[in-house]
Amino acid sequence: MKGLDSLRKISSDELDERNYLESLIETALTRGMVDYSFVEKVRFSLLDLLALKCRKYNGIDSSSVRTEVAEDVMKSIVFTVGIWLKDIKEPEDALLSLSETGIHKGFDIGFKKLENMVKSTRMFYYIVLNNNISTENYIYNATINGGIQGFFKLYNPEYGAHKIHITADYPVCFYPDGYQGIEFIRLYLQNIHYENQFIRMFDRTATRQCFVLHAINNNENIRDIYINLYEAVLSASIACAAAGEDVGGLKLTERGKGKIRDLGQDRNFALDMHLGKVFEQSGKTNLFSNSLKSYIVSTCLQYEADLKRMILQLAGYYE
C-alpha cells in the first residue's frame, strides 16, 4: 500500500459500482496506489475463502466441487465483498480495509448487509405489489406478480448472491443493466415504483384508455403489447399540457391534435418545459417527490425522441 492515508486519488464516481471490487483494485493498480503483491494477496484470500465455502457447500473436500459451481461461488463471494466495500465512503479507505480487515471478515460484514438488503427489498416489493397498476398487460402483470416473487424464492445469498434468476421482462425506462443479485432487484423495483407512482396520479379509467389507445396506435392489443405503461401516460400527459388541454383526461381533442401537429414541426419543442403543467394539473402536485420529479425529467431527456414520436401518434401523425 502506498500512502493511502495522506493522499486521496480515487473518486467514487470513477468506479463501476456494478463490479466494485474489481473496479477498485484495477483503478488503484493503474494509479500506482497498490502493487501486484497486494493484488496477489487479495486473490489468494479469495481462493482461500472459496475453498472454505466449497467444503461447506458439499460437506467434503472442495476439489470435488464441479468447476461451474466453484465459479458461481467465487462470483458470489466477489459480489458480497463488493457490498461490504461500497459501504465504505472513501475508495482509499476501502483499499485500507481490504488490507487491514481482510477478505474473510469483510465477507462476513458484507453478508450481514446482504441479508438486511434482502429483508428490506422484500418489504419494499410488497409495497410495490400493493400499489401496482390495473391493466390487462400480460408482461407487466407476469413480472410484478410472478417474476419478482420467483426471485425471492430462488435467491441464495450465501452461494449465489450475484444471481438474478428471473428475466425481468417488463421494460422499465431505466433498466439496471449490469447490476447483479439483490442490487438489480432493488433498482428494478425502485424504478417500477416511480413509474407506478406517476401513473397512479391519474384517474384509473383515463390511464386504462390511454394504454388501449397506445396499443391501437401500434396495431396491437393491450394484453400482448410490449409496452412501458409509464411512457404511454407520460407522453399523453405532456401532449395535453402542450396543447393546453385537460392533463387529467390524458386525451386530445381534435383542436389539441392540431396544436400538437404544429408543435411537432418546431425543432425547439422541448418536453421537459411542459412538466410543470403536468405536475400542477394532475391535481396531486404535493405527491410528486423530488426523486420522482427527477426520474420524470431524466426520462424526458433520455427518451425525448421516443416520447415525441408517441405524442405525434396521439395527434394522428404517423411516420
pLDDT at 5 over 50: no
pLDDT for res 56: 83
Span 195-218, average pLDDT:
93
CB 296 within 8 Å of CB 271: no
**Type and span of the H or E element at 161:** none
pLDDT at 264 over 90: no
Distance CA 59, CA 310 (A): 58
SS3 316: coil
pLDDT for res 272: 84
95 Cβ neighbours under 8 A, 6+ residues apart = 1, 4, 24, 28, 33, 34
Reported as a single tens digit per residue, the pLDDT across 24-74 is 999 999 988 999 999 999 999 999 999 999 888 776 555 567 888 899 999
Percentage of residues in the chain having pLDDT higher than 70: 93
pLDDT range class, residue 80, cuts 50, 70, 90: very high
Would you state the cell numbers that stand for residue 76, as one nine-digit string? 458470489
Where residue 6 falls (left for φ over 0; alpha for ψ -120 to 50; beta otherwise) is: alpha
